[in-house]
C-alpha cells in the first residue's frame, strides 16, 4: 500500500473520490457511493478465473498536450508521401523507415506507422488494434466551406489545451462542463456491479474530467512502482511510534463525526468513503496473484501494470464493469519534436512508450484470460498542424487514435483519412484538419460495447443524434 502524508492524502482523496472534489461539494454529496468493506468469507484469489465472464472494462489513455498523429500514421504511397514530405519539411520521417500497413479495407491510399511503434504494428497485423482516423471535438458535422463561412456552430476556444481537453472528455462542447462521458457511462451501467466494494471508476493519474459523473465518483489509485509492484490506493501515513492503529482510527472517527456545516459534511463524507475504498482495495490487491507479463518501467507502463492488477481483482470486488483513466504528458511538441535519427527525439520516445506499454497491457489481459473483455483506447487534446514551425508542430484539431483489445475488429482504418494537402479539402489552415469523426461517434461505439443501451446512448452522448455514425463498427 502506498502511503502519503495526511494533508496530501486529504487533497487527493477529496479531489479523486469526490468527482471534482472540492470544486463541487454539493455534487459530491450525491455522487459518492458508499464504500463497503469486503464481505466476510469472500475468497480473494485474484486469478484469471476470478474475472467474470460478463466483465467488461474500458481503459482511456490520454495523451496530454496534443499528439502529432500525422507522424504516427503517415502516407506511404508515392503521391501521398510526396505531399506529406512537402508540407512537413523538417518533421517528415524518411519513407524507408515507416512500418507499412495493410488494412483490411482501403481507400486506395497506403499508410505506414512511425518506426518507434513496432509493437503497435504487430498488434495491427494480428487484428487486435484498429486505427480511428481524424477524430475530434465537433458541435455538429462541419466542412471547410462551412467553417470559413462561420455557418455552423464550432467548439469554443479551438486549439486551447484546457478547453479542448475538457471538451474531449465531456463530448458536449456547446455546453459548460458538468460531467464527462466516462462518468456518464459509469452512471448508466453501475447497476451491473453487485455488492461493489470500491468505485468502478478508477484513475491512475489524478483527477480528470472524463470520469466525472452524477452518481459514480472516480477513485484515485497509485500506479505500480519499485516499492509497490501492484500499485494501490492512496492511504494515510501512520504517524510514527506509539499506538498507530488507534491514531488511524481516531482520524477516521473525526471524518465520520456529524457536521452541521454542509461543506464540512461533504468533506467528511468524501474522506470517510475514500478511507473505505482504500482499505477494501488494498485488501483485494494484496490477495491477487502475480502477473508474469513484463511491463516497461515507464510512466504509462506503470499505470497500465496497476490497471492489469485492478482488473485481476475485479471478481473479488464484485465489479463487472470498470472504467480506467491513464495519462502521459509531454505531447505539446512545439520544439525538439524529431531528431536526425528518427528513432530519437521527443515524439519518438513518447510513441515508443505508448507502443511498448499498450503491447504489455494487451499481453497481460491475455494472461488473465480477459483480452476480449478489455478495450483500451487513446484520446488527446487535439492533433497538431501538418506544417512545421521549424522545430516542431503547433496546436491542431482532428487527430488519429488507437483502439486495442480482443473484441476489436482490428487490422483496419476506420473513418476518413484527411487529404495530406495544406489548404486542401480538410484543412482550416496550416494543416489543422477538420474532424470527420466526432468524439461522440467514437465514444458511442465504445459505450455500446460496454453495455450502454441504445435508448441510453443520448444520455451518455447528448449530441449523438447530430452525427451520421453512432456505431463506427470497430468493436464486435
Q: How far apart are CA 20 and CA 201, in angstroms?
A: 13
Where are the alpha helices (H) located in 326-467, listed in sequence order?
A: 346-368, 439-450, 457-460
Q: How far apart are CA 94 and CA 2, in angstroms?
A: 45
Q: How far apart are CA 459 and CA 456, in angstroms?
A: 5
* pLDDT, position 326: 98
* pLDDT, position 437: 98
Where residue 259 falls among pLDDT bands split at 50, 70, 90? confident
- Pick 161 or 36 by higher pLDDT: 161
Q: What is the mean pLDDT of residues 384-390?
A: 97
- Pick 214 or 35 by higher pLDDT: 214
Where residue 44 falls among pLDDT bands split at 50, 70, 90? very low
Q: How confident is the prediction for the chain on average, in pLDDT?
A: 88
* pLDDT, position 253: 86
Instruction: Decide the pairing of beta strands 232-236 and 2-4.
Output: parallel
Which residues share a beta bridge with 62?
327, 379
* pLDDT, position 71: 97
Q: What is the mean pLDDT of residues 467-473?
A: 97
Q: What is the mean pLDDT of residues 47-54?
A: 68
Q: How far apart are CA 473 and CA 463, in angstroms?
A: 19
Host H or E run for residue 125: helix 118-125
Q: How far apart are CA 45 and CA 43, in angstroms?
A: 6
Classified as helix, coil or strand, 464 is helix
* pLDDT, position 19: 34
Q: What is the mean pLDDT of residues 186-202?
A: 90
Tens of pLDDT, residues 64-115: 999 999 999 999 999 999 999 999 999 999 999 999 999 999 999 999 999 9
Tens of pLDDT, residues 124-156: 999 999 999 999 999 999 999 999 999 999 999
Of 91, 75, 82, 76, nearest to 348 by C-alpha is 91
CB 343 within 8 A of CB 222: no
* pLDDT, position 242: 57
* pLDDT, position 409: 98
- Pick 167 or 266 by higher pLDDT: 167
Q: What is the mean pLDDT of residues 43-50?
A: 42
Q: How far apart are CA 291 and CA 200, in angstroms?
A: 21
Residue 252 pLDDT greater than 70, yes or no: yes
Q: What is the mean pLDDT of residues 19-36?
A: 34
Q: How far apart are CA 398 and CA 68, in angstroms?
A: 10
Query: Domain coordinates of the chain in residue numbers?
Result: 2-466
CB 440 within 8 A of CB 168: no
Q: What is the mean pLDDT of residues 225-239?
A: 83
* pLDDT, position 245: 75
CB 422 within 8 A of CB 458: no
Tens of pLDDT, residues 307-344: 999 999 999 999 999 999 999 999 999 999 998 776 66
Q: What does pTM read for this prediction? A: 0.88
Instruction: Decide the pairing of beta strands 2-4 and 437-438.
Output: unpaired
Tens of pLDDT, residues 394-439: 999 999 999 999 999 999 999 999 999 999 999 999 999 999 999 9
- Pick 356 or 236 by higher pLDDT: 356
State the chain's maximal CA–CA distance in angstroms. 74
Where residue 196 falls among pLDDT bands split at 50, 70, 90? low
* pLDDT, position 20: 34
Tens of pLDDT, residues 369-384: 999 999 999 999 999 9
* pLDDT, position 237: 63
* pLDDT, position 39: 29
Amino acid at each position: 500500500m502506498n502511503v502519503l502524508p495526511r494533508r496530501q492524502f486529504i487533497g487527493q482523496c477529496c479531489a479523486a473520490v469526490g468527482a471534482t472534489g472540492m470544486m463541487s461539494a454539493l455534487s459530491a454529496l450525491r455522487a459518492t457511493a458508499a464504500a463497503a468493506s469486503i464481505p466476510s468469507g469472500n475468497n480473494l484469489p485474484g486469478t484469471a478465473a476470478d474475472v467474470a465472464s460478463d466483465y467488461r472494462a474500458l481503459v482511456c489513455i490520454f495523451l496530454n498536450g496534443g499528439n502529432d498523429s500525422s507522424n504516427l500514421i503517415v502516407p506511404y504511397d508515392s503521391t501521398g508521401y510526396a505531399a506529406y514530405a512537402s508540407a512537413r519539411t523538417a518533421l517528415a520521417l524518411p519513407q524507408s523507415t515507416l512500418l507499412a500497413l495493410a488494412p483490411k479495407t482501403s481507400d486506395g491510399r497506403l499508410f505506414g506507422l512511425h518506426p518507434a511503434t513496432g509493437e503497435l504494428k504487430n498488434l495491427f497485423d494480428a487484428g487486435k488494434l484498429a486505427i480511428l482516423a481524424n477524430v475530434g471535438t465537433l458541435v455538429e458535422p462541419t466542412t471547410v466551406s462551412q467553417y470559413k463561412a462561420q455557418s455552423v456552430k464550432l467548439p469554443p476556444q479551438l486549439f486551447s489545451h484546457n478547453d479542448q481537453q475538457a471538451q474531449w472528455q465531456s463530448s458536449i462542447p456547446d455546453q459548460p462542463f458538468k460531467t464527462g462521458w466516462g462518468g456518464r457511462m459509469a452512471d448508466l451501467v453501475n447497476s451491473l456491479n453487485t455488492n461493489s466494494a470500491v468505485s468502478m471508476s478508477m484513475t491512475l493519474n489524478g483527477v480528470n474530467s472524463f470520469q466525472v459523473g452524477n452518481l459514480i465518483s472516480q477513485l484515485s489509485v497509485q500506479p505500480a512502482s519499485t516499492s509497490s509492484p501492484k500499485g494501490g490506493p492512496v492511504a494515510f501515513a501512520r504517524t510514527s511510534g506509539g499506538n498507530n492503529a488507534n491514531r488511524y482510527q481516531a482520524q477516521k472517527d473525526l471524518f465520520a463525526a456529524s457536521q452541521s456545516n454542509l461543506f464540512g459534511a461533504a468533506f467528511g463524507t468524501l474522506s470517510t468513503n475514500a478511507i473505505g475504498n482504500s482499505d477494501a482495495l488494498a485488501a483485494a490487491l494484496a490477495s491477487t496473484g502475480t502477473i508474469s507479463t513484463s511491463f516497461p518501467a515507464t510512466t504509462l507502463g506503470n499505470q497500465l501494470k496497476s490497471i492489469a492488477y485492478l482488473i485481476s481483482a475485479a471478481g473479488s470486488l464484485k465489479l463487472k464493469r470498470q472504467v480506467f483513466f491513464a495519462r502521459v504528458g509531454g505531447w505539446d511538441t512545439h520544439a525538439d519534436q524529431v531528431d536526425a535519427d528518427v528513432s530519437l527525439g521527443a515524439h519518438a520516445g513518447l510513441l515508443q512508450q505508448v507502443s511498448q506499454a499498450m503491447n504489455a497491457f494487451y499481453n497481460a489481459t491475455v494472461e488473465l484470460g480477459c483480452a476480449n473483455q478489455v478495450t483500451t483506447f487513446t484520446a488527446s487534446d487535439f492533433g497538431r498542424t501538418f506544417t512545421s514551425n521549424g522545430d516542431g508542430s503547433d496546436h491542431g484539431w482532428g487527430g488519429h487514435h488507437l483502439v486495442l483489445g480482443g473484441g476489436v475488429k482490428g487490422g483496419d482504418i476506420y473513418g476518413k483519412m484527411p487529404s495530406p494537402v495544406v489548404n486542401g479539402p480538410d484543412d482550416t489552415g496550416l494543416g489543422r484538419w477538420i474532424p470527420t469523426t466526432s468524439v461522440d461517434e467514437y465514444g458511442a461505439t465504445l459505450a455500446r460495447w460496454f453495455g450502454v443501451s441504445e435508448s441510453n446512448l443520448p444520455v451518455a452522448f447528448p449530441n449523438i443524434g447530430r452525427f451520421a455514425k453512432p456505431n463506427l463498427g470497430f468493436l464486435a
